[in-house]
Amino acid sequence: MNLCNFSVVVSVDVELNESSVDDVIDTEDRIVSQWRQRTADEKSETRDPVDEILRPLGSETKLVLVERANSIALFFVCKTLSALTGLRDQWCSGQLGNIVQSLFTFLSRSARPVLAKRLSWLLADYERSLKFFGSVKGK
């Protein structure tokens, strides 16, 4: 018997609130740089605080990449359908925004909260992920 694990990658774009930082581009660069440093060094001093901030995502959802585009793109891996729907529930309720703001404040080493003006997750992307889990359910 073969066991298969299926996951989906979810992309959420985060636009920073300009009034919460001195320089948006500099803050975005600092956040991405600190994330890369954290993921490059598993023994990094930032690991435990970041893990604690991300704990509400659950064990089946992992933040795997933080990149700059026109904003900051976050890439999550959802290992189960319930992880995917749970992440969407957190996004809809605003809890994901609170998690992201805590993470960005920590990574940017800002003395004041780094606020998100907008978190974007396209409904079509979410529905495509739902459909993927539905298509592999019987396999």
CATH code for the domain of 112:
3.30.70.680
Q: Model-level pTM?
A: 0.88
Question: Which range of residues forms the domain containing residue 75?
Answer: 8-136
Exposed / middle / buried, residue 46 (Cβ in 10 Å: 0-12, 13-18, 19+): middle
Domain annotation covers residue 52: yes
Q: How many domains does the chain have?
A: 1
pLDDT of residue 25: 94
* Phi, psi torsion values for 69, nearest 5 degrees: -135, -125
Higher pLDDT, 93 or 133: 93
pLDDT of residue 134: 78
What confidence category does residue 37 fall into, taking pLDDT thresholds of 50, 70 and 90? confident
Q: For all residues of the chain together, what is the average pLDDT?
A: 89
Rounded CA separation 40/42 (Å): 6
User: pLDDT digit string (tens) for 55-84?
Assistant: 999 999 999 999 998 899 999 999 999 999
Domain annotation covers residue 125: yes
pLDDT of residue 43: 59
Rounded CA separation 120/123 (Å): 9
pLDDT of residue 68: 92
Domain annotation covers residue 53: yes
Domain annotation covers residue 3: no
Domain annotation covers residue 2: no
Burial 74-85 (b: 16+ CB within 10 A, else e): bebebbbbebbe
Q: What is the dihedral of CA 114, 115, 116, 117, to 10 degrees?
A: -130
Domain annotation covers residue 54: yes
Domain annotation covers residue 106: yes
